[in-house]
Amino acid sequence: MRTLIVDDKKKIKIIALDVYGTILPTKGMQVKRKGLDTLLQKCKNQGLTLCTSSDANTSDMLKDFKKAGLDSNYFDKFFEMKRKGKRFYELPKNFTPILKYYNLDSEELLVIGDKIHRDIMPAQDLGCKTILVPEYKIHLYNEFDLNNLSVF
């Protein structure tokens, strides 16, 4: 497995992408976020492994991937990060299953998400690298370009 050097200390091996609000819109017709294809190809060229870190049902998410024309083969694994409780949508995600599945040190996982309390802070609490992107709500407002992320 090739890795991407983000800093002098540790190499990124796995990138976990949140789905709704990060690469697909949370509302509106399913259209991939601007720059997604380029980002995924860069990751592939770097030999990085991609997975999802979504709280959505995987079968529903894969249907939306198809609607958006997003090739699910870019992703090695689809993690369902179910959270329980009355306000589950406010609860942080648990990234430990990803670390265990890939047998990673936390510094080897990069989490990309749109929610600071659900995606970014829990990953940082574990010592993971993170990138916060603006929430992608409706495909008509697809101005943020994932290709501009400065991880490469």
Give the domain ranges of the chain: 4-145
Is it the case that residue 3 has pLDDT exceeding 50? no
Q: How confident is the model at residue 137 (pLDDT cuts 50, 70, 90)?
A: confident
pLDDT in tens, 47-79: 999 999 998 889 999 999 999 999 999 999 999
pTM over 0.75: yes
**77 DSSP β-pair partners:** 51
Topology of domain 4-145 in CATH is: Rossmann fold (3.40.50)
Token look-up 């008509």 returns 140
Alpha-carbon torsion (37, 113, 90, 72), positive or negative: positive
25-40 mean pLDDT: 89
